[in-house]
Chain A
Amino acid sequence: MKSRRISYRDAIREGLQEEMKRDKNVFIYGIDVADFKGIFGSTIGLKEEFGDRVFSTPLCEDSLVGFGLGAAVSGLKPINVHIRVDFLLLAMNQLANMVSSFHYGSGGKLKVPLVIRAIIGKGWGQAYQHSKSLQSYFAHLPGLKVVMPTTPHDAKGLLISAIRDENPVIVLEHRMLYDVVDKVDDENKLVPLGKANVLRRGGDITIVATSYMNVEAIHAANILKKRGISAEVVDARSIYPFDSETILKSVEKTGHVIVADYDWTFCGFSAEVAAIISEKSFSSLKSPVKRLGFAFAPAPCTRPLENLFYPNAEVIVRSVEEKLGLKSTNLKGEEFFTYENKFRGPF
C-alpha cells in the first residue's frame, strides 16, 4: 500500500482539500479560518484554491453552529472550525437543542451533514479556558458523533469520513499532535467512524486511551517493555459511536485495564468505558478498572501545577505497577512531557 510520512496538520489539510475537490458542496467557515495563520496551518492555501468556499466569520459561535445546521439541512456540507473547543461552549444551545435533535425532530426527513472541527489543547500555560476537551459533553447528547484522532492517518481518515457522513460529527484535534509526522496511507484512507484502533499489541494489560493520552500510553508501554511487561494500547478514536467490541476483546485477553482519558474522570468518558467493561465483561477482570485523567481542578497556567494537572507516561507506569503488583521502576533518565517541552508558543 502506498503511503507517505506527513504531519497531522498536513493530513488534515489534505483531507479538507481532497473533499472540497470531490464535492462542491463542502465549504469551510469559522472565526479566522481564512487568515494567514489558518487554524494552526490546517486551512492554509485553501482560500486561494477554493475562493469563497473558505471564509472567516464574525465572532458568534452559537449562531455559527446554527448557520452550519441551516446550510446542512439545505443541501450543503459545512465544516465549522473552532480554534479552541472551549469556545464551542458558546454554541451548546445549538448543539444540544438543535443540531443533535434536528433529524429526530423532523421525523427523519432532514439530514444534517455538518462537521465541527474543534482544537483541544494543553501545555505552555494555556490555563483553564484554552485547554478543555469536552468529548463527554458532546457524546452525552444522542444525535452527535464525536471522534478524536491521534495519528496523522486517523486525522485525515476520520475527517474524510466525518465529511461524508450525513450526520453531525464533532472532530476534536489535539494541538500538540499537529507537528507529529507519521505514515498516512494513500489508499484505504477512509477511517470509519465507530472503530477503535489497537495502536500496540500486548498481553499483560490494556490501556484504553483517547487523543494525546495515546502518546503517553505508548511512552509508558515502551518503558514497561524494558522490564518485560507488554501493554496493549487501544486508541478509542471514536467516542460515539463507541467500539466496545475491540476494547472488550483486549480486556478479555489481558484481564487488567487502565482507561487514560484526555479529560476529567468524574462523569466522563472513562467512567463510561469502565461501566461498559464491568457490564459486559466483568468476569474477565482480574483487577478493578483504573481511570486516569485530568486533576479535578480547572487547568492551572503555571508549569509546575500544569504538569501535575495532566497525567503522563509516568503516572501510567506507576498505575500499571500497582495493578500488577510490581515494584517501582527507576524512571530516572526518562523524559516526560516531551511534546510540550518542544513547544514555543505563542498560543
Chain B
Amino acid sequence: MTRKNLNLKLFEKAYLIRRAEEKIIEVYDSNEMKTPMHMSMGEEAIVSGVASALSGLDLLFGTYRSHGLYLARSGDTFRFFSEMFGRESGVVRGKGGSMHLSDPDRGLVATSAVVASTIPVAVGSAYALKKKGTRGVSAVFFGDGAIDEGSFWESLNMASLFKLPVLFVCEDNGFAVHTPPALRHGYKSISAIVSRFNCSVFSSTSTDAEVVFNLASRAKNAIFAKQTPAFIYLKYYRYLEHVGTHEDFSAGYRSQEEYQKWLKVDPLKILASKLKKLGVGKGELDKICKDIDLAVERSFKKARNSAFPNPAELYKNVFHEK
C-alpha cells in the first residue's frame, strides 16, 4: 500500500469515528440512547492505527470505551447506532449497549465494562490461536487504569511465560476516571516495568495514526519473530468527560489549556494536513468527508427508526442450545 493510500484509509476510519460520536452528542441529551457513553474522541489515531495493522486472522478485545475500536474494525455505523438506541438490529441486539460491543464475526471478540477483565481472556484466545497454528495475534486494548489491576499482571506473566501471541495495547489518557497516575502508581514508567518481562515493549506519544500503525506493525512482527507477547504504550487525551458527552473542565481536575495543546495535534487534523502534502486535493478530501457524513446520517436515521427487541429476546442466548 502506498503511503497516500494508507493515510487515506487511516483518515477514513478516524473521520468515521469522529462523525459517529458527534452524531451521538447531537441527540444524547434527549435521553433516547439509554446507555452510559464513554466517548473515544481524541483516541482515533490509536484505534485506527492498530486496527489497520491487524488482519482478519487477528482477534480484538476492548473496554467500555470501544466505539472507536468497533468502528475502526467494522466501518459499520448502522448496527452501531442501533445498539446505542437499544434496537434489535444492534451489534448485540440491544443487549450490550455502548459498553459491550461484541462482533465475533469480524474478530472483535468482546469488550468489558469491568476494568482489565478482557485481558486474561485475550491471553486465552492467543493460546488457542497458537495451538491451532493460526498466524494471528490477540490484541487487547485497555487504559492505564487497568495496570492497577492484578489481572493485568497475572495475564502479562502468563503470556510471557507461555510465549503467546498477545498484543497488549495500553491507551493512557492520563486518568483512571478522574484520578491521575501520580495518585495511583508506585513507580514512574509503565513501559520500564513491563520490559522486565519476556515481552517486547513499544511506546509513542504521537497522535499520528500512521506512527501508531507502524508501531503496531512492528509489534506484530516482533510477536512472531521473537515468540513473545508485545506491549504498546500510547498516549492520548480524552476530549470529553469520563462518561457522558460533555466537557468537564470546570470540575477542576484538568485544564482547558492542556486540552488546547492536544487539540493542536488532533489526530484528524494531523491526517488531513498530511494527506494534503501527499497530494490529496481539498476537493478529494471534502468528497470523502461528505460521503462519510451521508452514510452516518442515513444509518443513524435508519437505526433510530428500527424496532426494539421483542419480549422473547430477554431469555434468548442465556445458554447455547443446539
A positions within 8 Å CB-CB of B: 27, 57-58, 60, 62-76, 78, 93-94, 97-98, 102-112, 142-143, 145, 166-167
The distance in angstroms between the C-alpha atoms of A106 and B316, with both chains bound, is 11
Contact between chains at B114 and A97 (CB < 8 Å): yes
Task: Knowing A62-B151, A75-B128, say if A70 contacts B104 (CB, 8 Å).
Answer: no
Checking A27, A60, A74, A98 against B129 with a beta-carbon cut-off of 8 angstroms, the contacting residue is A74
B207 within 8 A of A: no
Q: Does B319 sit at the interface, judged by CB under 8 A? A: yes
The answer to whether the Cβ of B284 comes within 8 Å of any Cβ in the partner chain is no
A98 engages B121 (CB within 8 Å): yes
Partner of A107 from the list B102, B109, B158, B318 (CB cut-off 8 Å) is: B102
Minimum Cβ distance to chain B for residue A51 (Å):
12
B252 at the A interface (CB under 8 A): no
State whether the Cβ of B317 lies closer than 8 Å to any Cβ in chain A: yes
Task: For the complex, count residues of B whose C-beta is within 8 A of A.
Answer: 43
- Asked if B320 and A67 make an inter-chain contact with CB atoms under 8 angstroms apart, the answer reads no
Beta-carbon contact of A167 and B158 below 8 Å: no
Q: From residue A164, how far is it (CB to closest CB) to chain B in Å?
A: 11
Bound-state Cα–Cα, A108 to B90, Å:
13
Q: What CA separation (Å) do A65 and B117 show in the bound complex?
A: 11
29 A-B pairs within 8 Å (CB atoms) are namely A69-B121, A70-B121, A70-B125, A70-B127, A71-B124, A72-B124, A73-B110, A74-B109, A74-B128, A74-B132, A93-B114, A94-B117, A94-B121, A98-B112, A98-B114, A98-B118, A103-B318, A105-B100, A106-B92, A106-B109, A106-B110, A107-B91, A107-B102, A107-B317, A109-B102, A109-B104, A112-B320, A142-B318, A166-B320
For residues 105 through 129 of chain B, which have their beta carbon under 8 Å from a beta carbon of chain A? 105, 109-110, 112, 114, 117-129
CB-based contact B158/A58 at 8 Å: yes
Rank and list the top 3 A-B pairs by shortest CB-CB distance, nearest first: A70-B124, A66-B120, A74-B128
Q: Are B125 and A167 in contact (CB under 8 A)?
A: no
- Which chain A residue shows the least CB distance to B156? A63
Q: Which residues of B contact A63 (CB under 8 A)?
A: 119-120, 123, 151, 154-155, 158
Closest-CB distance, A81 to chain B (whole angstroms)? 15
| A103 in contact with B317 (CB, 8 Å) | yes
| Complex Cα gap A251–B207 (Å) | 69
Among candidates B109, B112, B151, B320, residue contacting A167 with C-beta atoms closer than 8 Å: B320
Chain B nearest Cβ from A144, distance in angstroms: 9
In the complex, the answer to whether B120 meets A105 with C-beta atoms within 8 Å is no
Cα-based distance from A104 to B318 in the complex (angstroms): 5
Q: Which B residues are in CB contact (< 8 Å) with A93?
A: 114, 117, 151
A97–B114 alpha-carbon span in the complex (Å): 8
Are B95 and A97 neighbours in the complex by a CB distance under 8 Å?
no
